[in-house]
Amino acid sequence: MSADTTSAAGSAIGEVEGASLYDVDHPAPVIEPPRARTARTPKTTRGNFEMVAWLFMRLSGVVLVVLVLGHLLIQLVLDGGVSKIGFAFVAGRWANPFWQVWDLAMLWLAMLHGCNGLRTIVNDYAERPKTRMWLKGLLYTATIWTVLLGTLVIFTFDPNIR
Amino acid sequence: MATPTMDRVEEGSAASTHLLTVTFRIRRFNPEVSDEAWWQDFQLEIDPKERVLDGLHKIKWDVDGTLTFRRSCAHGVCGSDAMRINGKNRLACKTLIKDIVSLDKSGNVSKPITIEAIKGMTVLKDLVVDMDPFFQAYRDVMPFLVAKGNEPTRERYQSAEDRARFDDTTKCILCAACTSSCPVFWNDGQYFGPAAIVNAHRFIFDSRDDAGEQRLEILNDRDGVWRCRTTFNCTDACPRGIEVTKAIQEVKRALITRRF
């Protein structure tokens, strides 16, 4: 047949031949993919958490488009842009409950949306259970801290602070 | 063996003008030789109307008998020879050389055809992978008819409309091209993967089946349909043209409408 092989000179088979560590009785370890499914993989977890999280991502995303774009427009574009922002500007806005609710909704939705997004990324990419646990622990701590601190500031903001 | 293949090879060498010199760059792995995979080039004179599988056969039968790959029916039905050809999951028996070869202006082949095992599964040798995790996910969605009540004395009737509801997903041949093209599956093999969801879809939307609820509950899992990122790799990879991502989305919709 007209077939011809041009095996690369530096291929592994050439180099290790004769002095190979591996043979029929001692095969090399195969490379297994992360977290393969076996018969022992836990079956169905109860509850709808994943579905609720998935729905939350869609719904909060839609709301955030309005909230965040509106926020950016007001802060950065209208009325002289970013140069107008100062303590007085923030104090003036937070005197109005409408902007308090706006900022509160934006804070909670953005933090939970981002937290859930990072959670899925950790689930997708972290292979070892310990890595997953630490990354998620760090993520949840940071999220809860930011959400609580932000909420506290919005509600207890004192425009007369010295 | 397959006489049609041999006939065509003979024809080809008689009128060798239309033959192409194609390089098959195959990712080899043999744990009895080395713990590392390596790329090996094979040059073949091949009719562009032949399939990639014919090239692999030529190599295995005439050049290097150690080349290992799976194929059974060789006509796109058994789903044994899914492999990564030029970076895309395809069936070697359904991929024509002329469709994937890149020619320069003078009509010469400018790039080798790369062939490797499908991703996300343990490579056992060359193009052969361990399919156990794939079939475990398949088993976990209960891919069989579950019907309550008395067994009818005749066949279970179904209207044409009811049959059409899940027609697309009956086409699956379990070749694993979709599941092994899914980036979520590459990183986390506990995800059910597109193929298992497609086969669950086939029964969830079957009017004769009574365990749809149970299957939905299985796919509501942490590793179920909610992990799908709708990258459409599976739909692109499917050699049977199943709209895999659409099927997954239909399962998601069924789960949501079931609750609310």
User: Distance between CA B217 and CA B85 in Å, rounded?
Assistant: 36
- Record: contact A3-B45, CB cut-off 8 A: yes
User: Could you tell me which of A61, A57, A67 has the C-alpha nearest to residue A98?
Assistant: A67
Instruction: Report helix, strand or coil for A161.
Output: coil
The string over A47-61, giving b where at least 16 C-beta atoms fall within 10 Å of a residue's C-beta and e elsewhere, is eeebbeebbeeeebe
The confidence score (pLDDT) of residue A81 equals 78
Q: Taking CA atoms, what residue in A is nearest to B219?
A: A44
B187 touches chain A (CB under 8 A): yes
Going from N- to C-terminal start, the domains of chain B cover 17-128, 131-259
The confidence score (pLDDT) of residue B12 equals 45
The confidence score (pLDDT) of residue A83 equals 83
Q: What is the pTM of this model?
A: 0.85
Which of A2, A32, A123 to substitute to test the interface with B, most B CBs within 10 Å?
Answer: A2
Give bridge partners of residue B113 from the DSSP assignment. Answer: B24
B152 touches chain A (CB under 8 A): no
pLDDT band at residue B259 under the 50/70/90 scheme: low
The confidence score (pLDDT) of residue B253 equals 95
Query: What residue ranges define each of the domains in chain A, with the CATH number in brackets?
Result: 49-156 (1.20.1300.10)
pLDDT band at residue B221 under the 50/70/90 scheme: confident
- Chain B nearest-CA distance from A126, in A, is 8
Higher pLDDT, B180 or B107: B180
User: Distance between CA B111 and CA B130 in Å, rounded?
Assistant: 30
CB-based contact B248:B197 (threshold 8 Å): yes
Using one digit for the tens of pLDDT, what is the confidence trace for B196-207?
999 999 999 999
- Chain B nearest-CA distance from A57, in A, is 11
User: Does position A5 have pLDDT exceeding 70, yes or no?
Assistant: no
- The letter for the amino acid at B16 is S
Q: Which of residues 99-128 of B touch A (CB under 8 A)?
A: 120-124
Computed over every residue of chain A, the mean pLDDT equals 85
Judged by phi (left if over 0) then psi (alpha if -120 to 50, else beta), residue A54 lies in alpha
pLDDT band at residue A48 under the 50/70/90 scheme: confident
The confidence score (pLDDT) of residue A18 equals 56
Structure tokens at B192: 């059910």
For chain A, give the percent of residues with pLDDT over 90.
45
Least confident of A79-93, B44-58, B76-90, B112-126: A79-93
pLDDT band at residue B225 under the 50/70/90 scheme: very high
Q: Taking CA atoms, what residue in A is nearest to B126?
A: A30
The confidence score (pLDDT) of residue A9 equals 43
Q: Taking CA atoms, what residue in A is nearest to B125?
A: A30
The confidence score (pLDDT) of residue A70 equals 93
Residue with tokens 């320069």: B104
- Record: contact B58-A29, CB cut-off 8 A: no
Residue with tokens 């290790």: A16
Q: What is the mean pLDDT of residues B75-98?
A: 95
Task: From chain A, pick out residues whose CB is under 8 angstroms from the CB of B40.
Answer: 5, 7-8, 11, 13
Using one digit for the tens of pLDDT, what is the confidence trace for B126-143?
999 999 999 999 999 999
- Record: contact B187-A125, CB cut-off 8 A: yes
- Record: contact B42-A6, CB cut-off 8 A: yes
Same fold, B17-128 and B131-259: no
- Chain B nearest-CA distance from A40, in A, is 10
The confidence score (pLDDT) of residue B18 equals 85
What is the rounded radius of gyration, in angstroms, for the C-alpha atoms of chain A?
28
- Record: contact B187-A124, CB cut-off 8 A: yes
The confidence score (pLDDT) of residue B16 equals 54
CB-based contact B223:B190 (threshold 8 Å): yes
CATH fold of B131-259, please? Fumarate Reductase Iron-sulfur Protein; Chain B, domain 2 (1.10.1060)
| Per-state percent for chain A, helix, strand, coil, to nearest 5 | 65, 0, 35
The confidence score (pLDDT) of residue A10 equals 44
- The letter for the amino acid at B175 is C
- Record: contact B122-A32, CB cut-off 8 A: yes
The confidence score (pLDDT) of residue A7 equals 46
Structure tokens at B132: 């156990």
User: Does position B4 have pLDDT exceeding 70, yes or no?
Assistant: no
CB-based contact B50:B73 (threshold 8 Å): no
User: Distance between CA A67 and CA A81 in Å, rounded?
Assistant: 18
The confidence score (pLDDT) of residue B59 equals 96
Nearest by CB to A3, which of B44, B140, B259? B44
Long-range contacts of B209-213 (CB under 8 A, 24+ apart): B209/B145, B209/B146, B209/B147, B210/B146, B210/B147, B210/B148, B211/B142, B211/B146, B212/B254, B213/B258
CB-based contact B153:B159 (threshold 8 Å): no
Q: What is the mean pLDDT of residues B202-214?
A: 94
Structure tokens at B11: 């024809």
Using one digit for the tens of pLDDT, what is the confidence trace for B21-75?
999 999 999 999 999 999 999 999 999 999 999 999 999 999 999 999 999 999 9
Domain B17-128 bears CATH identifier 3.10.20.30: yes
User: Does position B180 have pLDDT exceeding 80, yes or no?
Assistant: yes
Q: Can you state the angle between helices A97-125 and A129-156, rounded to 10 degrees? A: 180
Q: What is the dihedral of CA A97, A102, A104, A105, to 10 degrees?
A: 140
Structure tokens at B169: 């997903």
- Record: contact A123-B124, CB cut-off 8 A: no
User: Could you tell me which of B70, B106, B100 has the C-alpha nearest to residue B88?
Assistant: B100
Task: From chain A, pick out residues whose CB is under 8 angstroms from the CB of B6.
Answer: none
Backbone angles phi, psi at A9, to 5 degrees: -60, -35
- Record: contact A37-B189, CB cut-off 8 A: yes
Cα→Cα distances A110→A97, A106, A126, A148, B29, Å: 19, 6, 23, 13, 47
Using one digit for the tens of pLDDT, what is the confidence trace for A148-158?
999 999 988 88
CB-based contact B43:A5 (threshold 8 Å): yes
User: Does position B229 have pLDDT exceeding 70, yes or no?
Assistant: yes
Chain A / chain B CB contacts < 8 angstroms:
148
Residue with tokens 């069936």: B91
User: Does position A115 have pLDDT exceeding 50, yes or no?
Assistant: yes
The confidence score (pLDDT) of residue A17 equals 53
Computed over every residue of chain B, the mean pLDDT equals 91
Which of A37, A46, A56, A122 to substitute to test the interface with B, most B CBs within 10 Å?
Answer: A37
Q: Could you please report the per-residue DSSP string of chain B?
A: --HHHHHHHHHHHHSGGG-EEEEEEEEE--TTT-SS-EEEEEEEEE-TTSBHHHHHHHIIIII-TT-----SSSSSSS---EEEETTEEEETTT-BHHHH--B-TTS-B-SPEEEEPPTTS-EEETTEE--HHHHHHHHHT--S----SSPPSS-----HHHHHHTTGGGG-----TTGGG-HHHHH-TTS--HHHHHHHHHHHT-TT-S-HHHHHHHHTSTTSGGG-----HHHHH-TT---HHHHHHHHHHHHHHHH-
